[in-house]
A and B are shown apart, each in its own frame.
Chain A
């Protein structure tokens, strides 16, 4: 019983991390790094609630994905076409999201900081032997597999890798470097958007001013852990998700919080992330031109 609820907790916590990381893997393969994923999660989570309240859970998912894709597009245009600093652009998205969503919640529902999502507007769950499970768990694993195939078995994937490793060579071979990179940025945004929608209209069923609570950054850690392999992002998402789920479970259990203050339990996922990434980071090999704008001579 405890085991199945822990596993289910880990699977549900894996979804936002792995899905966001999967998109970012493709984007970083193409040479665009987006540290604004946290902000994209938050804004799309907000958008998804608004969408769901207007047209049901499916509309919520579509709006979340759309908001993410638009933010990814903005970041991509700044990074690729204006050759702006990708870190600054990403930080900008994070700050923008914090402000917009805080105001948005007040503006939309007249309350400050917190809005519960109606049960009827949530994504319907599947009945499994483990218990009630979100279909997004399956979608996440499928997206990871699809992304792996895209990168390693298609012509577009070859171009993505080429513009990330050596954009000048790709350019000389007739690849449209800017377009491929922009595709990567939009793809990462769209997947983060879907993950954001999952947070608000599925898993956590609320919208708050800080709903992702650092999951966008843990997704970045998952990218490092995965060494840009989407399947390893599933593994990484499960590891980080396990401690995330454990933290959520333990901090609501009275027996545990009487012994250990819940603040310490909630630190777990972040501490584990730091430890794991510290162990992995030296061995990861990232594309040579990742994060660097390409300028033709």
Chain B
């Protein structure tokens, strides 16, 4: 390969594992005491230190909200830091925007690619590089990119619009685009989330090649096998702090899982009353659901939720939980398989029909699906039940506001929603009170099954405790509760049974009494049991 600065992709049959060859141990990149406080007071990062050598592949591991992406957005110039220092080769650098970062050789490949879908790969790569769309300069640029493809093994058809290429190829185009900026530090945010296993292995080969050529790589991930297969060292973050940095060679999946999930801090919940009758309310059998990209997001999932039970689905977000909820609540079609509510099929059924069949849905994204922010408390309190005859006047299509007000007042009182008046627009309430109203409205439907998606996410401690108690009340009243939560402590405190979802599969179902935090942490990270039926 004449003119190559980087050796060609590793020989076929090379075993996965940390790249061979010495990695200089001297620190090249250093982040010191990085703190990020958002305008609303959230402390996303607290005095985080991170260091990497030239050619090192460094894993950045942590649960949702641990601060991984925030830290890397700071390093790539997207977010300003509140305090801290960034040094490269011992010299402090200032990063005001992505151009500053690129000028220092720092480039980031995001989960959502920064590609213009109607452009070809070549145009996407050349965008912002000042190369014209035609003429000899373009030919030169094309030759340069062909050389880069040969050097790295990142082959991409250059003249096809990006929107017509498979997702793995788009990612390669995105990486090429970044490398074409002469990047010496490549940051990848969950790069394998959307890839097939074959594409993942190809990507790893490329990353090893780049690493041997001296490119430093930071890999944001929550997948333990990837960390073990690819990285030299790993830094674990939790709640915006560094738990520790370890050489991968000596680490085990158990160590990393323990660092990632941390010690137990279970929230207190109401008493769990014994339930005598076991009777399935929701039965899901071999259900497969496609994600937005058209690939399966939920794979062949089977479980039952009984009355008087909280069945919790644990897992890092993005492993199919959202698509599962949507398929069960009428918001997304199922590709194959079955779901029954009290014996009746519910896949592909209109949400309103589902409510009449006994479903209550506390949506994951309450701002988008749970409420209309501009409407008042009163109006929001009847969304989804507004068609019932009790809110109607004799004249068709007219609402009986007096009865609506009475109903809303009742919901507000029973669920302790703090609001200046019933006419207050929903958006003026705090997140906790909004959620109490949404939960109150749903639970007032006397449902047989409650589907709750991330019901306490973003809420203050008191509101979260109220919501958890309400879910426990539902269970104790003999209703079935399907809880989907990325908060492991919440799941451990509330659930009667826990199913761990990873890459669209239920990897294991654990009964209360055999809950094992470390084992669940491993399962969430993709280590341990294969697909399981609950």
Contact = CB atoms under 8 A, between A and B. Distances in A.
A185 to B, nearest CB: 20
B116 A161 contact: yes
Nearest to A163: B116
- Of the listed residues B98, B119, B127, B133, the one surrounded by the most CB atoms of chain A closer than 10 A to its CB is B127
A174 B181 CA distance: 11
B99 A155 contact: no
Contacts of A171: 98
A154 interface: yes
B116 A165 contact: yes
A157 B132 CA distance: 9
B114 A158 contact: no
A148 to B, nearest CB: 12
Interface string A145-160: 0000000111101110
Contacts of B130: 155
Contacts of A168: 114
B133 A173 contact: no
A170 interface: yes
A61 B144 CA distance: 46
30 contacts: A152-B133, A153-B134, A155-B131, A155-B133, A158-B119, A159-B127, A161-B116, A161-B118, A162-B127, A162-B128, A165-B117, A166-B114, A166-B115, A166-B117, A168-B114, A169-B113, A169-B114, A169-B115, A170-B116, A170-B128, A172-B98, A173-B114, A173-B127, A173-B128, A173-B177, A174-B98, A174-B102, A175-B127, A175-B128, A288-B117
B185 interface: no
Nearest to B98: A172
A168 B119 CA distance: 14
Contacts of A170: 116, 127-128
B467 interface: no
Contacts of B218: none
A166 B162 CA distance: 12
Interface of A: 152-155, 157-159, 161-162, 165-166, 168-175, 288, 297
Contacts of B110: 172
Interface in B126-169: 126-134
Contacts of A175: 127-128
B123 interface: yes
B132 A154 contact: yes
B132 A155 contact: yes
9 A-B pairs with the lowest CB-CB distances in the bound complex, closest first: A173-B128, A169-B114, A172-B114, A174-B128, A166-B116, A173-B127, A165-B116, A175-B128, A174-B99
Given A157-B133, A168-B114, A173-B114, A162 B98 contact: no
A158 B133 contact: yes
Contact of B116 (A152, A157, A162, A174): A162
A161 B128 contact: no
Interface string B94-111: 000011001000000010
Contacts of B177: 173
Contacts of B126: 158
B127 A158 contact: yes
Nearest to B130: A155
- Of the listed residues A153, A155, A158, A173, the one surrounded by the most CB atoms of chain B closer than 10 A to its CB is A173
B112 to A, nearest CB: 8
Contacts of A154: 132-133
Contacts of A288: 117-118
A163 to B, nearest CB: 9
Contact of A161 (B102, B119, B129, B134): B119
Chain B interface category by residue count: 20 to 34
Nearest to A288: B117
Q: How would you classify the secondary structure of chain B's contact residues: helix, strand, loop or mixed?
A: loop
A161 B102 CA distance: 23
A151 to B, nearest CB: 9
Contact of B119 (A153, A162, A174, A297): A162
- Of the listed residues B78, B117, B118, B130, the one surrounded by the most CB atoms of chain A closer than 10 A to its CB is B118
A172 B134 CA distance: 23
Contacts of B118: 161, 165, 288
Given A154-B133, A166-B116, A297-B78, 4 more contacts: A153-B134, A155-B131, A171-B98, A173-B177
Contacts of A297: 78
A278 B364 CA distance: 40
A158 B117 contact: no
A169 B125 CA distance: 11
A158 B131 CA distance: 10
Nearest to A175: B128
A153 B132 contact: yes
B158 to A, nearest CB: 14
Contacts of B98: 171-172, 174
A29 to B, nearest CB: 11
B99 A158 contact: no
Nearest to A174: B128
B174 to A, nearest CB: 9
B133 A169 contact: no
- Of the listed residues A157, A165, A174, the one surrounded by the most CB atoms of chain B closer than 10 A to its CB is A174
Contacts of A173: 114, 127-129, 177
Nearest to A176: B128
Nearest to A173: B128
A171 B110 CA distance: 13
Nearest to B108: A172
Nearest to B134: A153
Contacts of B102: 174
B460 to A, nearest CB: 24
Interface in B177-235: 177
A168 B128 CA distance: 12
A46 B99 CA distance: 45
A154 B130 CA distance: 9
Contacts of A162: 116, 119, 127-128
A202 to B, nearest CB: 34
A168 to B, nearest CB: 6
A155 B123 CA distance: 10
A172 B126 CA distance: 12
A155 to B, nearest CB: 5
- Of the listed residues B113, B133, B177, the one surrounded by the most CB atoms of chain A closer than 10 A to its CB is B133
Contacts of B78: 297
Nearest to B102: A174
Contacts of A155: 130-133
Contacts of A166: 114-117
Contacts of A174: 98-99, 102, 128
A237 B403 CA distance: 59
A92 to B, nearest CB: 24
A264 B177 CA distance: 58
